[in-house]
Structure 1
Amino acid sequence: MSSIYPKVYTIKNVDKEILKGWLTTLVVGRKLDERAPNYLKQAIGWSYHAPYAGHDGIQFAIGQIFDRATDHLFPYYRDMMTCFSAGLTAEEIILNGISKATDVAGGGRHMSNHFAKPEWNIHNVSSCTGNHDLHAVGVARAMKFYNHKGVSITSHGESSTSEGYVYEAINGASREKLPVIFVLQDNGYGISVPKQMQTANRKAANNFSGFKNLRIIHCNGKDIFDSMNAMTEAKKHVLEKGEPVIVQANCVRIESHSNSDRHELYRSENERNYTRVYDPLAKFIRMLIRYGRFSQDEIQAVEEEAKAIVKAAHKQCMKAPDPDPATIYDYVMPEAYEAAKYPAGTHQHDGEPLKLVDAINKTLKEEFRANPDTFIWGQDVANKEKGGAFNVTKGMQQEFGDQRVFSAPIAEDFIVGTANGMSRFNEKIRLVIEGAEFADYFWPAMEQYVDSSHDYWRSNGQFVPNMTIRLASGGYIGGGLYHSQNIEGALATIPGVRIVYPCFADDAAGLLRTAMRSRGMTVFMEPKALYNAPQAASAVPDDFEVPFGKARIRRPGKDLTLITYGNTLIHSLDAAKELENDGIDVEVIDLRSIVPLDKDTILESVMKTSKVLVVHEDKVFAGFGSEVASTIMEEAFEYLDAPVKRIGSPYTPVGFNRILEKAILPNTEKIVAAAKELIEY
């Protein structure tokens, strides 16, 4: 804030020129808000619009205290005035609403009413309300680590506090003492659900009154001056104390929740009329006249000026180009680090074999030494001598400190969501997170995973989260439910994320290094049954690199192609040895990389052998092998001498008792039987 602003805002002490600027912003914003539905009626765009009228005071104040040079802002879908007050132009607001290619938020790729300007740190957020609180906390964590003087501001309705990740964000910010302002715009409804059905407290912010290191400020979000004072005090407190603040702003929602909602179905006429009586803009104008700050003619002049601004913006925006359908493949996934140090085909290494767990641990430490802007967190990753459930991160906190290596709460979406946010602070930051102690426990993080997966595409290439998500995966340990299931097939259906599943120590080291040096998201699946298995041990050259999307022929052959990855690679190699005794020469392909998939190596092998067996640990039904088989059928059908056959688990969970587990999971015996059946076809 400039020194020309008073410490406390009142109708009497704000300079008239400043008041005129405020009034112009408020009037232009309201005209945009009221005009938006007309675009829909004319089939021009703005197919989703959530009117902000009634939230004018608090949204105006958020935008005014936001400093694009130091702060980060995470607006929600009703925050049109917030973004306009923060500096977006009328043209930028309309371009977003009508989804034009020149929309600064994302070039028409994201839903209308999702305003952003990433170059100013006004972030492009998803439609899943409240989830961006975790991103705001992640940015704030980076601000604190790098001693950056600024605040992270996140905004949404009071009903979003019903979401678990909002609680986790506020809990995390208070525990870590992070510079975050959480703004709750309380209009009394979550679409049609009244707030008394969301929480027992009349004020949702009071649900957090017992939190340590957290201040709660209540204000009248309908009043410009009260809102300005509340937000100014909130920012001052955060900057001085380094602690988070919740600002609970009492608002009214004058119109329906959105253009697809009919509030007359659940709000009485008296209630709807009441909201109009408390219109913040009308109140502000009445105050300006009552206290002699503006005449009616001056107000009218501002009205005319606002009409002209909106009219000119509309005219300009109608000339803007639509998105080009040819660009749909742009920004799905960023270019990966070029792993060129070890040419493809160089697979035999000299030296002492390393166990899989030791190769991962060694690589993590080497990359942390190479890049001081690398961080890791997750459950149990840094508890004295313990390094996760399987000791993969053992010794890391001792070497790199508790600011770069630390344990997280038992909240998987908090782990992933704050990684997304911390990555937003600076492109050089690289994050490794243990998404869950076991891959089976990753599901609570799926909303954050999905949101992060399309950040790059949604923002038109303006932001990509640079994170590697480690997941200990698979069975063969007698783990049963939540400890032995496989999820890579389900994750592979979501575009925007690389997924790798190495088996041997050298591949694990090489793929992990490539993932940590790359932009974008990588899921790094670790076959936990092989962490200490001698079969998966191998020598690992210094600074070993493995490219994404390049399979490895583990055993050449001419009679049958066996395609596999992860735990079942060991069983497949054992099966190939056994089949060799029967005169069957099996080529074993280790995919290593599921997304991207090395189709070339697969198809070349199919053309040579003409028979294919796909083996993986996951269920056969809808498992990733279905995609491999389909690719072969579509692109190499004429080379096949038999149908593509698949071996995996039956359509059941993986049981706990070892007898049940053996009956369910693939093994050498089952692979040999399937291969012989295929050869005899």
Structure 2
Amino acid sequence: MKKYDIKTTDTETLKKWYHLMVLGRALDEKAPSYLLQSLGWSYHAPYAGHDGIQLAVGQVFTKGEDFLFPYYRDMLTVLSAGMSVEELILNGISKATDPASGGRHMSNHFAKPEWHIENVSSATGTHDLHAAGVARAMVYYGHKGVAITSHGESASSEGYVYEAINGASREGLPVIFVWQDNGYGISVPKKDQTAVRKYADNFSGFKNLKIIHCNGKDVFDSMNAMSEAREFAIANRTPVIVHANCVRIGSHSNSDKQTLYRDENELAYVKEADPLMKFRRMLLRYKRLTEEELQQIEAAAKKELSVANRKALAAPDPDPKSIFDYVLPDPYIPEKYKEGLHQEENGEKAFMVTAINETLKEEFRHNPDTFIYGQDVANKEKGGVFNITKGMQLEFGDARVFNAPIAEDYIVGTANGMCRFDSKIHVVIEGAEFADYFWPAVEQYVECTHEYWRSNGKFVPNIVLRLASGGYIGGGLYHSQNIEGALTTLPGARIVCPSFADDAAGLLRTAMRSRGFTLYLEPKALYNSVEASSVVPEDFEVPFGKARIRREGTDLSMITYGNTTHFCLNVAERLAQEGWSVEVIDIRSLIPLDKETIYESVKKTSKALVVHEDKVFSGFGAEIAAGIGTELFRYLDAPVQRVGSTFTPVGFHPILEKAILPAEDKIYDAARKLLEY
């Protein structure tokens, strides 16, 4: 490995480094002035004091081979990696031509996705999971390169950072975790974060993990550390932590006042330790560059910044009409079954569990760049507690079908990362064995919903996230809850929930062939239900946003999905014996929602009963009911009514579960009152 030092590094390289460092610092110091002039850059986290390690990360990053996940303080990192100062200003003042997000994401979040300088979240450290995921894809496809993820030492207190390192060391992934340690997390000193002085030493017991400590203020020590890390990660296919000791010369950000928690002696020390000034002094002391040459570089950097500033200020602002662009990509459009309907055919009915299992296998044969993993999904003939993935590992191998640690954030986050390697990749994940256990991964769920919009359409994760949902199995807490009411509030995900085996197959096929992120809810009580079984046509497809009228009627519209679809059908038959005609609509797709079918039904019947298993209070039915009330008030002959669970958790004892969850009698009583209104 080449060693860098002040004496042997060639002159042109030293000039380039100094130019980058001066240019970066000039912009770092200018950034607050944009806010003072009301031009933008309302969030700025100065990097001064991190100069050595940031220059090194950018120089070691190899365009076309590596993926770089910078954090909000990585201004010099991305400048060193090749981004122009104009591009950084465009980001800072949130212009439409900002390559990171077109002004959609917070300032100081620099990215250029087409170079694989990735757009990352403000939730610092979450991108470690994405780096591990893209490194997994690198290994699978035999790609030579590394994933570099960078953040401060305080972010390493987060559980998902541990999950990323644990997973990368277990799988053997070429990830470089760069921790820029300036001793503070905003105003929180390191002693309140960890018991050790060097944060990376907390991970010293991990197998297959190399830890390199360096002086992040020193250009040469940082260059040697990063060069060694990249070479080691590629050669050994193992992760590396580069722990860089830095100083933070300025406040955490422009909304922070460091004099409230740092004394004058400390502030004087960090200013004296300025890496840029140290590098300048070294260049002169060792006579590598003259004072005149340094001044020429400084003048050139000043001019470059001035030109870039003028160009960036003239760039267009984002168009407010564009806010609805890139929320969701266009889905796969079914060809054979355009409406997601089929004639009732003679043939053997399949259980929902079988329909899902066989569709997964068919789509894995259809697309060889499809992967599935999660908890307990890949043990030879076993396929989880419900046998959904039974036989898949035997047919498709453990490189495409594999178990994940019991770490829900890691499962979702690395799926996001894998998709970044190539848009042809589609990942199916079991986010948790039961939907109730999914909450630790909601942070990464949010990331997935943001990606397409936040990156201004440059990246969208192709993920189908499967969750076994709902009750009626006597499972109680953590085994019987519904969570869609909370997740439908987040734009950027399609959410579907089948009630019958054929729709389970059709919705899954469409989801696996579509770009973007789909939450696929599986009512587990229906897996082996005779009522939910059906003939599943070959290659059956169901489009998103297309409801299915399960029973036609004229007196009342029942709008439902999942487990309660079957209750509604039974109630409708019971009411038919009494002379009432009830229409049952199985929405199948929550987002997008087929309002047209729902509204046309309500116009016809003039009465609506919304039924679902989730809680009535803040459940998804509230949105359907509100839409009907707002759009169809003049057509209604009675108030819209809802039936669902009580506003309590789901209890374990059968008596408690029965009291909490909706049942046929509850639906019948509500329907009868509405019909007689």
TM-score of the pair, normalised by structure 2 = 0.99
2:510 equivalent in structure 1: 514
Residues 1:125 and 2:120 are matched in the alignment: yes
Q: Match of 2:394, as an amino acid?
A: Q
CA contact (8 A) 1:220 1:227 kept: yes
CA distance in 2, matches of 1:210, 1:87: 36
2:390 pairs with 1:394: yes
Task: Give the match for residue 542 of structure 1.
Answer: 538
2:33 maps to 38
State the alpha-carbon separation in 1 of the partners of residues 343 and 558 from structure 2.
19
Cα root mean square deviation, aligned: 0.7
Could you say which residue in structure 2 is the equivalent of 1:413?
A: 409
Contact 1:50 1:113 in 2 (8 A): yes
One-letter amino acid of the structure 2 residue matched with residue 45 of structure 1: G
1:615-647 alpha-carbon deviations (Å, 9 max, x no partner): 000000000000000010111111100000000
Q: How much does 1:196 deviate?
A: 1.0
Q: Which structure 2 segments of 5+ residues have no match?
A: none
Partner of 1:675, secondary structure, is helix
Shift of 1:650: 1.0
- 2:178–2:242 CA contact under 8 A, matched in 1: yes
- 1:500 paired residue among 490, 496, 499: 496
CA contact (8 A) 2:355 2:536 kept: yes
SS in 2 for 1:286: helix
CA distance in 1, matches of 2:376, 2:343: 34
Q: Report the equivalent of 2:289.
A: 294
Q: Secondary structure at the match of 2:531?
A: helix
Aligned mates of 1:201, 1:503 — CA distance in 2: 53
Q: Partner residue of 1:587?
A: 583
Task: Give matches, 1:208-227, under 5 Å.
Answer: 208-227=203-222
Q: Distance in 2 between matches of 1:57 and 1:110?
A: 27
Contact 2:337–2:540 under 8 Å retained in 1: yes
What's the offset of the Cα at 1:294? 1.2
Q: Corresponding residue for 2:559? A: 563
Task: Identify the residue that residue 74 of structure 2 maps to in structure 1.
Answer: 79
- The equivalent of 2:177 in structure 1 is 182
Find the partner of 1:475 among 446, 471, 474.
Answer: 471
1:292-371 paired onto structure 2 within 5 Å = 292-344=287-339, 345-371=341-367
Q: Structure 2: which amino acid aligns with 1:666?
A: P
Aligned to 2:154, the other structure's residue is in SS state helix
2:381 and 2:155 map into 1 onto residues whose CA distance is: 39
1:195 shift after superposition: 0.7
| Structure 2: distance between partners of 1:298 and 1:619 | 71
The range that moved more, 387-396 or 506-515, is: 387-396
Q: What's the counterpart of residue 236 of structure 2?
A: 241
Residue 378 of structure 1 pairs with residue 374 of structure 2: yes
- 1:383 positional shift: 1.9
Report the Cα distance in structure 1 between the residues aligned to 2:366 and 2:58, rounded to whole angstroms.
39
What secondary structure does 1:394 align onto?
Answer: coil
Match of 1:644 in 2: 640
**Residue 49 of structure 1: aligned partner:** 44
SS of aligned partner of 2:596? helix
TM-superposition CA deviations, 1:306-339 (whole Å, max 9, x none): 1101011101111000000000000000000001
Name the residue aligned to 1:104.
99
Aligned mates of 1:347, 1:252 — CA distance in 2? 70
Q: Which residue of 1 aligns with 2:23?
A: 28
Separation in structure 2 between the aligned mates of residue 410 and residue 90 of structure 1, nearest angstrom: 43
- The question of whether the paired residues in 2 share the 8 Å contact of 1:614 and 1:647 is answered with yes
Query: Tell me, which stretches of 5 or more residues in structure 1 are unaligned?
Result: 1-5
Deviations 1:122-144 (A, max 9, x none): 00001001000000000000000
Q: CA separation of 1:343/1:296 partners in 2, compared to 1, >3 Å: closer, same or farther?
A: closer
Percent identical residues: 69
The CA distance in 2 between the partners of 1:503 and 1:398, in whole Å, is 29
Quick one: distance in 1 between partners of 2:394 and 2:208?
28
The amino acid that maps onto 2:220 is F
Task: Give the alignment partner of residue 57 of structure 2, picking from 55, 58, 62.
Answer: 62
- Name the SS of the counterpart of 1:202 in structure 2: coil
Measure, in 2, the Cα distance between the counterparts of 1:35 and 1:343. Answer: 56
- Residue 152 (structure 1) aligned with residue 132 (structure 2): no
Three-state SS of the structure 1 residue aligned to 2:233 is: helix
On the 8 A contact 2:557/2:605 being kept in 1, the answer is yes
Give the counterpart letter for 1:637 in structure 2: F
What residue identity is the alignment partner of 1:604? E
Q: C-alpha distance in 1, partners of 2:609/2:98?
A: 48
Match of 1:114 in 2: 109
In structure 2, C-alpha distance between the alignment counterparts of 1:645 and 1:515, rounded to whole Å: 32
Q: Give 1:494's aligned amino acid.
A: L
What does the per-residue CA deviation read over 1:237-277, in whole Å, with 9 as the maximum and x for residues that have no partner?
01111111000000000000000000000000110110011
**Residue 9 (structure 1) aligned to one of 4, 9, 30:** 4
2:199 to 197, 204, 210: 204
Equivalent-residue separation in structure 2 for 1:357 and 1:214 (angstroms): 40
**Partner amino acid, structure 1, of 2:658:** K
Structure 1 letter corresponding to 2:447: D
> 5 Å matches for 1:552-631?
552-631=548-627
Counterpart Cα distance in 1 of 2:409 and 2:67? 21
Q: Which residue is equivalent to 1:454?
A: 450
2:608/2:641 contact within 8 Å kept? yes
| Inter-partner Cα distance in structure 2 for 1:468 and 1:68 | 30
Give the TM-score normalised by the residue count of structure 1: 0.99
Match of 2:280 among 273, 285, 298: 285
The 1-side partners of 2:385 and 2:309 are apart by 58
- Structure 1 residue matching 2:178: 3-state secondary structure: strand
Residue 423 in 1 paired to residue 423 in 2?
no
SS in 1 for 2:612: strand
Partner in structure 2 of residue 3 of structure 1: none
Q: Which amino acid aligns with 1:680?
A: E
Task: Give the letter aligned to residue 213 of structure 1.
Answer: N
What does the per-residue CA deviation read over 1:51-92, in whole Å, with 9 as the maximum and x for residues that have no partner? 000000000000000011100000000000000000000100
Deviation at 1:97, TM superposition (A): 0.2
Question: Deviation of residue 347 (structure 1)?
Answer: 4.5
CA distance in 2, matches of 1:338, 1:350: 27
Q: Distance in 2 between matches of 1:350 and 1:301?
A: 84
- 1:342 Cα deviation after fit: 1.1
Aligned to 2:249: 254
1:656 correspondence with 2:652:
yes
1:642 maps to a residue whose letter is A
CA distance in 1, matches of 2:345, 2:143: 45
Which residue in 1 is equivalent to 2:674?
Answer: 678
CA contact (8 A) 2:338 2:543 kept: no
* Contact map agreement 2:349 2:535 (CA 8 A) in 1: yes
Asked if the contact 1:340–1:547 (Cα under 8 Å) also holds between the matched residues in 2, the reply is no
Cα distance in 2 between the residues matched to 1:419 and 1:546: 24
- The aligned length equals 676
Distance in 2 (CA, whole Å) between partners of 1:304 and 1:372 is 55
Specify the code of the residue in structure 2 equivalent to 1:434.
Answer: E
Pick the aligned partner of 1:230 from 225, 229, 238. 225
Moved over 3 A (4+): none
Q: Whole-Å Cα distance in 2 between the matches of residues 88 and 626 of structure 1?
A: 47
1:388 Cα offset (Å): 1.1
Return the offset for 1:198: 0.6
CA distance in 2, matches of 1:343, 1:333: 20
